Amino acid sequence: MSVEKGTKRRKKPAIQPLPEGWVVSDEYRANGRHIEKGTELSIVGERGRFIFLSHVVNGAGAEWINVFGGPVKHEILRSFRPERIKRVHRLNRTRKNAA
C-alpha cells in the first residue's frame, strides 16, 4: 500500500480544547422535562423535529443548544436558544441513525 507520487494523506484534525469558561453538557432541562442526547424536540418557528445533541454555555453567559434535524430529507446541524424549545417529545419518531 504505497502512496502514489503527488497524492498526500490527510491528517485528522486535532480536537481543539474548549475556550476558557465554556461548559458543554449532553443534558438539559426544558419545559419541566429532562432532555438527554437523542431526545426529540420541536422548535418555535421551525418545521420538523430536531434531535438534541448538547447544551453550551460560553464564558460570557450566552447559552444555546445544538441539534440535528429539520424537515424530512433536509436535516442539518443547527443551534438555537433554549427558550425556542416548543415541545419535548415523549416518543422519538425520526430515523434511529440520525444522531
Distance of alpha carbon 30 from alpha carbon 38, whole angstroms: 15
Closest CA to 76 of 67, 64, 84, 85: 67
Distance of alpha carbon 59 from alpha carbon 70, whole angstroms: 29
As a whole number of Å, the end-to-end CA separation of the chain is 34
The C-alpha cell of 94 is what? Answer: 425520526
Q: What share of the chain is helix, strand, coil (3-state, %, to 5)?
A: 5, 40, 55
Please state whether the predicted TM-score (pTM) of the whole model is above 0.85: no
For residue range 1-52, list pLDDT tens digits in order: 555 666 778 888 888 888 889 999 999 999 899 999 999 999 999 999 999 9
pLDDT of residue 81: 96
Which residues, in sequence order, are CB contacts of 97 under 8 Å at separation 6+? none
Range with the lowest mean pLDDT among 9-13, 22-26, 76-80, 90-94? 90-94
